[in-house]
Amino acid sequence: MRPFEQIVTEHGPMVLRVCRAVVGPQDAEDAWSETFLSALKAYPDLPADANVEAWLVTIAHRKAIDVVRAAARRPTPVDALPERPARAGRPEDWDGDLWRVLKALPDRQRRAVAYHYLAGLPYKEIAALCGGSADAARRAAADGVRTLRTTYPSPTDQRGVTRS
């Protein structure tokens, strides 16, 4: 079995991207921390032939839900206006504009997009995680990406100009 340190080095950055895309800059690091602490505890029992990436994304999926629920219970009101970029986390970490458009997607689409395009999970496994069929997961990812292409300005676009 590989030392857990190697799991963190190899897969930590991917899980952080997924957490950032699913829960946003403010809660991403909490979700990552909960994911890897939970993974460390369970690691000795992981079967030798397990797909480590899929295993980590499964844990991250559950922890992201927990973290968002806990955040919703916090007394601090969360800015709900999609027009204002959520830069409440660490603004240097990544572009708040991307989170603004990701956040506007239905949860199902945002997760399907993150798990497929950032974690490389097949649609069948995304369906096992999120419920529904593989085809439904494929459609959710495709719909999500289509919306992102129309709402997220590409780096060459002028800020504030929306492509149609």
Report which of 19, 27, 111 is spatially closest to residue 11, judged by C-alpha positions: 19
Binder among 23, 24, 26, 32 for another protein (CB under 8 A): 32
For 3, phi then psi, to 5°, come to -60, 145
Chain residues 125-164 in contact with another protein, contact rule CB under 8 A: 145, 148-149, 152, 154-155
Q: Which of 54, 68, 98, 130 binds another protein (CB under 8 A)?
A: 98
Count of positions on this chain that bind another protein (CB under 8 A): 39
Q: How far is the CB of 13 from another protein (least distance, A)?
A: 5
Task: Decide if residue 33 touches another protein (CB under 8 A).
Answer: yes
36 class by beta-carbon count within 10 Å (0-12 exposed, 13-18 middle, 19+ buried) = buried
Smaller CB distance to another protein: residue 25 or 127?
Answer: 25
* Nearest CB to another protein, comparing residues 65 and 145: 145
> In this chain, which of 10, 37, 124, 157 binds another protein, going by CB under 8 A?
37
Tell me, rounded to whole angstroms, the distance of Cα 92 from its chain centroid.
Answer: 18
Helix (H) or strand (E) holding 68: helix 52-73
In contact, 43 and 7? CB cutoff 8 Å: yes
Q: How far is the CB of 4 from another protein (least distance, A)?
A: 5
Q: Does 124 bind another protein (CB under 8 A)?
A: no
For residues 101 and 114, give the distance between their C-alpha atoms in angstroms, rounded to a whole number.
13
Does residue 5 belong to the site contacting another protein (CB under 8 A)?
Answer: yes
Answer whether 112's CB lies under 8 Å from 137's CB.
Answer: yes
**Chain center to CA of 134:** 19
**Site membership for another protein, residue 21 (CB under 8 A):** yes
Kindly state the DSSP code that residue 40 receives in the 8-state scheme.
Answer: H
List residues near another protein by CB under 8 A. 1-6, 8, 12-14, 16-17, 20-21, 29, 32-33, 36-37, 40-41, 43-44, 90, 93-95, 97-98, 117-120, 145, 148-149, 152, 154-155
